[in-house]
């Protein structure tokens, strides 16, 4: 049995004198803003953020109990796993949807998006079952009033450097995109690809409902400039964000500069969900309470 860690959670990094001066100057200058800057300020104030979490990070993959645990750590929603058919809480079935609806009504957090991690083992680029499951997810998302379905491309489903696999993904996305458009559902690609490589797929498919599910940790691990890539992709090509950092530390103590992420997000006018997929160095509850509070300080309910 592992010994329980007792060291305290480190505090979030302190504000520097420079950052305090910048904030004070910004506040003092609000009344003197030009009309164009005033419009931008008003637009940012009207934007909103909510902080979610992936159900697999809560140890509750594919079960509505993830909603309860999300409440305990102070999060607003859950990315619910959408896997193959036949699970106890299969969302293809009315009883599965009812179980999630009951959990939401009781605990508060909502389903912010559907996550198809199942595609890492059943590749969308090659397996006929995966193609059908993605079609299934569109109908389920519409029924649940969920706007985003994450399509994962890791493990066996990886398309980095796979030209043939990429072309097949493009072909399949072209087939399902009209259904996604009609349902008002966005298919978000989470891959090891760069912004440029993502744009090749998006441009080739030619649908506004095929976008990037931008994972901060994955992209940084690949060596991409995430703060520049967010600006390159723009609001029209990013559907949601995963907050992740491979440093294995609490947010604010790792490699991702979330304040720089916020500035990049402001630059493109993004408004929506930021979904935690973080490390748990102090256990699930302590770690995710910290991360939830940290992110809410940077991405508040109103921009």
- Give every CB contact of residue 231 below 8 A, 6+ residues apart in sequence: 264, 267, 268
User: Per-residue confidence at 17, pLDDT binned at 50, 70, 90?
Assistant: very low
Whether residue 171 contacts residue 223, with contact meaning beta carbons closer than 8 Å, is answered with no
Mean pLDDT of the 223-242 span: 98
Q: 213-223 burial by CB neighbour count: b if 16+ within 10 A, else e?
A: bbbbbbbbeee
pLDDT per residue as tens digits for the range 257-277: 999 999 999 999 999 999 999
Q: Is the pLDDT confidence value at 37 over 60?
A: no
For the chain, which domains are there? 40-297 (3.20.20.150)
Confidence class of residue 43 from pLDDT cuts 50, 70 and 90? low
Please, which pLDDT band fits residue 14 given cuts at 50, 70 and 90?
very low
What pLDDT does 9 receive? 56
Of 197, 194, 198, 202, the residue nearest 218 (C-alpha): 194
Look at residue 302 in the predicted model and tell me its pLDDT.
Answer: 81
Q: How sure is the predictor about 36, in pLDDT bands with cuts at 50, 70 and 90?
A: very low
- pLDDT confidence band for 3 (50 / 70 / 90): very low
- For 276-300, how does the pLDDT look when each residue is reduced to its tens digit (9 = 90+)? 999 999 999 999 999 999 999 999 9
Given a cut of 70, whether residue 25 has pLDDT beyond it is no
Orientation angle between helical segments 258-268 and 226-233, nearest 10 degrees: 10
Q: Is residue 5 pLDDT above 70, yes or no?
A: no
Q: Angle at the Cα of 214 (from 175 to 282), degrees rounded to 5?
A: 130
pLDDT tens digits, 45-63: 678 999 999 999 999 999 9
The pLDDT of residue 231: 98
Residues of the chain with pLDDT > 70, as a percent, come to 85
pLDDT band at 44 (very low <50, low <70, confident <90, very high): low
pTM: 0.87
Q: Averaged over 141-154, what is the pLDDT?
A: 98
User: To the nearest whole number, what is the mean pLDDT of the chain?
Assistant: 89
Q: Helices 65-72 and 94-107 sit at what angle, rounded to 10 degrees?
A: 20
Task: Inform me whether the pLDDT recorded for 255 exceeds 60.
Answer: yes
Q: Residue 10: its pLDDT value, please? A: 58
Q: Which of 290, 289, 241 is nearest to 264 (CA)?
A: 241
The pLDDT value recorded for residue 45 is 61
Nearest alpha-carbon partner for 214 in 300, 277, 121, 298: 277
């Amino acid at each position: 049995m592992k010994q329980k860690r007792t060291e305290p959670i480190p505090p979030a990094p302190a504000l520097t004198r420079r950052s305090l001066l910048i904030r004070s100057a910004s506040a003092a200058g609000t009344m003197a803003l030009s009309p164009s800057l005033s419009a931008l300020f008003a637009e940012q104030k009207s934007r909103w953020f909510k902080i979610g979490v992936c159900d697999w990070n809560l140890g509750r993959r594919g079960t509505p109990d993830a909603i309860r645990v999300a409440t305990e750590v102070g999060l607003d929603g859950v990315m619910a796993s959408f896997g193959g058919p036949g699970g106890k809480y299969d969302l293809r079935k009315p009883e599965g949807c009812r179980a999630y609806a009951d959990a939401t009504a009781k605990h508060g957090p909502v389903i912010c998006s559907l996550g198809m991690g199942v595609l890492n083992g059943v590749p969308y680029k090659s397996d006929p079952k995966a193609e059908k499951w993605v079609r299934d997810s569109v109908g389920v998302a519409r029924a649940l009033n969920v706007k985003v379905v994450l399509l994962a491309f890791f493990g066996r489903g990886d398309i980095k450097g796979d030209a043939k696999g990429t072309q097949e993904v493009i072909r399949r996305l072209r087939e399902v995109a009209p259904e996604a458009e009609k349902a008002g559902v966005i298919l978000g690609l989470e891959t090891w690809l760069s912004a440029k490589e993502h744009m090749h797929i998006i441009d080739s498919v030619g649908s506004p409902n095929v976008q990037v599910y931008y994972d901060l940790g994955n992209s940084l691990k690949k060596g991409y400039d995430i703060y520049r890539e967010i600006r390159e992709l723009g609001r029209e090509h990013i559907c949601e964000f995963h907050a992740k950092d491979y440093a294995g530390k609490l947010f604010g103590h790792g490699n991702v500069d979330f304040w720089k992420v916020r500035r990049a997000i402001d630059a493109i006018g993004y408004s929506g969900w930021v979904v935690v997929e973080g490390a748990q160095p102090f256990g699930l509850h302590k770690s995710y309470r910290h991360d939830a509070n940290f992110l809410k300080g940077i991405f508040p309910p109103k921009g």
